């Protein structure tokens, strides 16, 4: 699929090519097929790239008690961390109701996922790619999406300023 870039940042760097944008899209789309979402019927796939270049896939996994539900972003992150990767450069997300062709525009991460990612990512360099079914992709830095993330070591809001 050819992608049209819609971005909130002025420059996303020469290290992010259209081929990489398409690759993350395809991987996130594939991860979405494994979603366990019988309650919301909203399936999400994530492809998280580590600093090593390795890509970790994740999908949302729901639970009837709701609270134990895990988002696709955290599934990919926890998988990566459990396998020894601790620094990340970008994540691609795609989501929509369980019909494979039903993709919502710009499926963005929730606040819990953004906070979890902030533990391991440079807020000014980590990119979040949110894909739409029409081929567009919105690209933001972590700082744009979570300007005041909490960090215990900094006793509070260290990302904001």
Which residues are catalytically annotated?
A: 73
At residue 156, the 3 state secondary structure works out as strand
With beta carbons less than 8 A apart as the criterion, state whether 40 and 16 touch: no
Alpha carbon 146 to its chain's center: 13
Q: Please identify which residue in the block is written with the tokens 């391991």.
A: 120
Widest CA span in the chain: 44
Rg (CA), the chain: 15
With beta carbons less than 8 A apart as the criterion, state whether 95 and 45 touch: yes
Determine how many CB atoms are found less than 10 A away from the CB of residue 87.
Answer: 12
Q: What are phi and psi of 29, to 5 degrees?
A: -65, -40
């Amino acid at each position: 699929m050819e992608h049209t870039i819609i971005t909130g940042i002025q420059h996303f760097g020469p290290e992010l090519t259209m081929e990489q944008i398409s690759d993350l899209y395809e991987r996130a789309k594939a991860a979405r097929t494994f979603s366990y979402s019988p309650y919301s019927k909203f399936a999400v796939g994530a492809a998280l790239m580590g600093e090593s270049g390795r890509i970790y896939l994740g999908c949302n996994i729901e639970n009837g008690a709701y609270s134990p539900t895990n988002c696709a972003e955290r599934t990919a992150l926890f998988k990566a961390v459990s396998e020894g990767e601790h620094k990340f450069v970008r994540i691609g997300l795609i989501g929509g109701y369980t019909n494979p062709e039903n993709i919502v525009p710009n499926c963005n991460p929730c606040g819990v996922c953004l906070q979890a990612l902030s533990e391991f990512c440079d807020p000014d360099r980590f990119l979040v790619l949110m894909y739409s079914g029409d081929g567009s992709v919105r690209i933001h830095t972590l700082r744009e999406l979570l300007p005041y993330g909490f960090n215990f070591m900094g006793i509070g809001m260290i990302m904001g300023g």
